[in-house]
């Protein structure tokens, strides 16, 4: 079960999108948004390093400035590293003092001007209308733009029409997890006494980002380590004079099938996702690599890794690892804790990891008394979004990662959640914004917005990408050159065959125009 604690959040390292490759058409699947985390061996991720944290009120909105000072070649995913400097991210709303801020030294920044010139509905429609009609987007396009400070709709182009969201659905999952679980909640992986003497049970609590060895307090992926858990367990067993044990694993915190009927048969082997499980090492990857297949049974793989670590600490493990439920009220021998939910949400958004998104969905379901299944998680996320006062008509989820093609979300729901996260009414949702990739700097936007006419948005646009075959979407937050904070979403779910790159560039141009146009 979740426990509460609040280590300072880190700025997660993020993989680059594959768009930096030559203009050959990349595979338009969520794999491009599910690159391995920052500890993957051989991965190169452009690391986001905070320069300053800004805490200054402006019309009730507090701003966060996240800067990007350096690139770490050891942490950069496939793509060029030295072509340019990463731009500085524009200010964003951040939580008030009640929420633990990043560890960078605070500095006062100029607040947003309350009387900043505002875009008008007529101005936006006139400028963006032709761009939304770009043939590269196909015939099925929606767009929504809100003033993020007051939720006022500035652009509605079929914004209530349900469309396939792809990974932009993770915006909903992120907000729902923060609201239902709480930003400071951590997930505990425990070892308890088994049903018979000489038996221990590894109990999964929903942490799918475990390290196989020692945990790393400075990372989200691998914050809790099975090596540390084994060391603590071995010490407890020595105190009981039990040098030989059998190991069992209890992964019953999640229920139902681990694989969605909406996923492609090759998604696990291709590394896009793993079966949803209550515990996993490295989000279920078989090996730490930039692209690696996932384990068909992540819980058992984690339990076997734990048994190996236990043996390394001098405990003889008798027989194979088996599944067994932990006895009610069993004595706890050891436990390790994950990074807080806020940090996990940031990591999930930055890497677009499907495994952690699905695990968070099931944790939300458990917290709200729903079955921790695909259906329960989908219903729980929808209910949390509705509780924010955001319209959910047309929201139909078949999972909480966006990998299922039959999920639908209207553009206005995405912008509604983003605007809620930016408001001072919901400081608990701030990680929904701070986890968004930054144009030309981090995550799946690191290799986008690099050429005119999209370049003006570099460092200014923060957005979640979405990509499936025939589907391209972009939803996020930006600050205009006039100082207005806008939430935006553009969705296209009938992109012409082979047109993924062109559709992305069309959306990048739309975001850049939003930054610069004024549109009054």
Is position 352 annotated as part of the catalytic site?
yes
Is position 423 annotated as part of the catalytic site?
no
Residue with tokens 């680059």: 16
Question: SS3 of 173, please?
Answer: helix
Per-residue pLDDT at 157: 98
Is 72 within 8 Å of 14 (Cβ atoms)?
no
Question: SS3 of 337, please?
Answer: strand
Instruction: Round the average pLDDT of the chain to a whole number and report it.
Output: 83
Question: Which listed CATH number (3.40.50.720, 3.40.50.300, 3.40.30.10, 3.50.80.20) goes with 185-339?
Answer: 3.50.80.20
Question: CA 152 to CA 442: how far, in whole Å?
Answer: 29
Judged by average pLDDT, the poorest of 222-231, 282-291, 341-350 is 282-291
DSSP 74-109: GG--SS-SSSSPPPPPPPEE---TTSPPPSSPEE--
Question: CA 365 to CA 378: how far, in whole Å?
Answer: 8
| Predicted model pTM | 0.82
Whether domain 2-181+343-516 has CATH 3.60.10.10: the reply is no
Token reading at 148: 């993020």
Q: What is the pLDDT of residues 224-262, one digit of tens each?
A: 999 999 999 999 999 999 999 999 999 999 999 999 999
HSE, side-chain direction, 13 A CA sphere, residue 332? 8
End-to-end CA distance of the chain: 51
DSSP 417-449: HHHHHHSTT-GGGTHHHHTS-BTTTSGGGTTSS
Per-residue pLDDT at 520: 76
Q: Which one from 34, 337, 338, 352 is the annotated catalytic residue?
A: 352
Q: Which one from 142, 170, 356, 464 is the annotated catalytic residue?
A: 170
Q: What is the pLDDT of residues 407-456, one digit of tens each?
A: 999 999 999 999 999 999 999 999 999 999 999 999 999 999 998 999 99
Is 437 within 8 Å of 449 (Cβ atoms)?
no
Q: Where are the domains of the chain?
A: 2-181+343-516, 185-339
Strand positions, DSSP E, 158-225: 162-163, 185-193, 199-203, 207-210
Per-residue pLDDT at 50: 30
Q: Which one from 29, 34, 142, 167 is the annotated catalytic residue?
A: 167
256 CB neighbour count, 10 Å cutoff: 15
Q: What is the pLDDT of residues 24-60, one digit of tens each?
A: 334 444 444 344 333 332 233 333 333 222 223 233 3
In the 8-state DSSP scheme, what is residue 223? S
Do 185-339 and 2-181+343-516 have the same topology in CATH? no
Q: What pairs with residue 207 in β-bridges? A: 279
Q: What is the pLDDT of residues 298-316, one digit of tens each?
A: 999 999 999 999 999 999 9
């Amino acid at each position: 079960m979740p426990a509460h604690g609040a280590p300072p959040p880190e700025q997660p390292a993020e993989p680059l999108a594959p768009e930096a490759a030559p203009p050959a058409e990349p595979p338009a699947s969520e794999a491009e948004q599910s690159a391995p985390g920052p500890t993957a061996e051989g991965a190169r991720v452009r690391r986001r390093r905070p320069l300053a944290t800004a805490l200054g009120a402006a019309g009730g909105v507090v701003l966060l400035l996240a800067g990007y000072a350096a690139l770490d070649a050891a942490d950069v995913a496939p793509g060029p590293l030295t072509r340019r400097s990463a731009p500085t991210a524009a200010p964003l709303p951040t939580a008030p003092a009640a929420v633990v801020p990043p560890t960078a030294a605070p500095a006062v920044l100029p607040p947003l001007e309350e009387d900043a010139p505002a875009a008008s509905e007529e101005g936006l429609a006139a400028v963006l209308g032709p761009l939304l009609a770009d043939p590269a987007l196909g015939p099925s396009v929606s767009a929504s733009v809100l003033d993020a400070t007051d939720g006022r709709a500035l652009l509605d182009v079929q914004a209530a029409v349900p469309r396939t969201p792809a990974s932009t659905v993770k915006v909903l999952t992120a907000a729902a997890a923060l609201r239902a679980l709480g930003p400071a909640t951590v997930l505990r992986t425990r070892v308890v006494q088994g049903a018979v003497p000489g038996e221990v049970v590894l109990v999964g609590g929903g942490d799918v980002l475990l390290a196989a060895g020692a945990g790393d307090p400075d990372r989200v992926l691998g914050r809790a380590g099975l090596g540390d858990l084994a060391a603590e367990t071995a010490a407890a067993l020595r105190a009981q004079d039990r040098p030989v044990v059998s190991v069992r694993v209890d992964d019953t915190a999640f229920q139902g099938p681990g694989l969605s009927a909406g996923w492609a048969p090759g998604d696990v082997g291709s590394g896009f996702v793993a079966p949803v499980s209550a515990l996993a090492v490295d989000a279920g990857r078989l090996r730490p690599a930039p692209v690696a297949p996932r384990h068909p049974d992540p819980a058992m793989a984690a339990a076997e890794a734990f048994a190996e670590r236990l043996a390394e600490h001098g405990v003889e493990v008798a027989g194979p690892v088996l599944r067994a439920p932990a006895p009610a009220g069993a004595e706890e021998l050891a436990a390790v804790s994950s990074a807080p939910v806020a940090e996990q949400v940031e990591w999930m958004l930055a890497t677009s990891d499907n495994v952690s998104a699905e695990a968070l969905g099931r944790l939300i379901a458990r917290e709200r008394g729903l079955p921790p299944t695909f259906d329960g998680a989908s219903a729980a996320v929808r209910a949390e979004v509705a509780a924010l006062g955001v319209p959910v008509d047309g929201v139909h989820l078949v999972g909480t990662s966006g990998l299922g093609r039959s999920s639908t979300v209207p553009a206005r729901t995405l912008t509604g959640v983003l605007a809620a996260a930016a408001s001072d009414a919901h400081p608990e949702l701030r990680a929904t914004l701070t986890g968004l990739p930054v144009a030309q700097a981090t995550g799946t936007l690191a290799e986008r917005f690099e050429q005119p006419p999209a370049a003006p948005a570099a460092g200014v646009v923060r957005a979640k990408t979405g990509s499936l075959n025939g589907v391209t979407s972009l939803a996020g937050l930006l600050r205009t050159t006039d100082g207005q904070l806008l939430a935006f979403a553009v969705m296209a779910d009938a992109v012409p065959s082979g047109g993924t790159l062109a559709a992305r560039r069309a959306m990048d141009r739309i975001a850049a125009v939003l930054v610069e146009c004024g549109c009054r």
